[in-house]
Amino acid sequence: MIPITDPRIEHYLQDLRPAPHPIQAEMEQLAAEQGFPIIGPEVATLLAILVATSDARTVFELGSGFGYSAWWIARALPQDGVVHCTELDEGNIARGRDFLERAGLTERVKWHHGSALAALAQHQGHLDMILCDIDKEDYPAALSAALPRLAPGGLFVCDNTLWYGRVADPAEQDAATRGVRQLNQMIKDEPTLESVLVPLRDGLTVARRRDARHGAR
């Protein structure tokens, strides 16, 4: 595996973290106890800034776990904004509902139990942001499904696009690594997107659907 960030830099970033909100701290402790892969506070803060600065109203999450990223997104949304959450595990949904209820954010969060891509297919209308964090072998299908749903100027944000550094090692040929690699290539080849892969934590891709105003450049 190829380390993405030197451990000394990781520690330095950790030292710069502000004190967590009590609900955030609870969620991070649960993730640590269960070994559950949350995006963590740095990626989450970047996500919240993207939601706020893009004036996103409707966000769709592919893979929500117990609502860690949804908590950050919901806080960054306007009063009438909605984050759609998708999750296969009912226990995770119950825990997520409880966290977001106690945070006073229930009205901005809608949970869908079952396949993330099936829920996306049923959603009507354009989305201002789609966050992708499902099984990595499904990443290419997720991008194909997400692209036509993205509003002009909308953001496709994808976690784990460096996948433990495996994407950069040709010897790694498992299905998950190939899925992430294929997604990264699809984004590179997609003329309607402007994108950057931020090497934060496990890699976060931020891709924006071009609109007429910021059209082909």
**Could you say which of 133, 138, 205, 209 contacts Mg ion (CB under 5 A)?**
133
Q: Decide if 182 contacts 138 (C-beta within 8 A).
A: no
**Residues 179/158, Cβ–Cβ less than 8 Å:** no
What's the closest the beta carbon of residue 208 comes to ligand DHB, in angstroms? 22
Angle between helices 68-76 and 40-53 (to 10 degrees): 30
Q: Which stretch binds Mg ion (CB under 5 A): 70-78, 95-103, 133-141, 173-181?
A: 133-141
Nearer to ligand DHB, 29 or 106 (CB): 29
SS3 51: helix
Residue 205 near Mg ion by CB under 5 A? no
**Bridge partners (DSSP) listed for residue 157:** 131, 206
Crossing angle of helices 175-189 and 139-146, in 10° steps, is 30
Interface ranges with ligand DHB (CB under 6 A): 37, 133, 159-160, 202
Binding of Mg ion by 128 (CB under 5 A) = no
160 binds Mg ion (CB under 5 A): yes
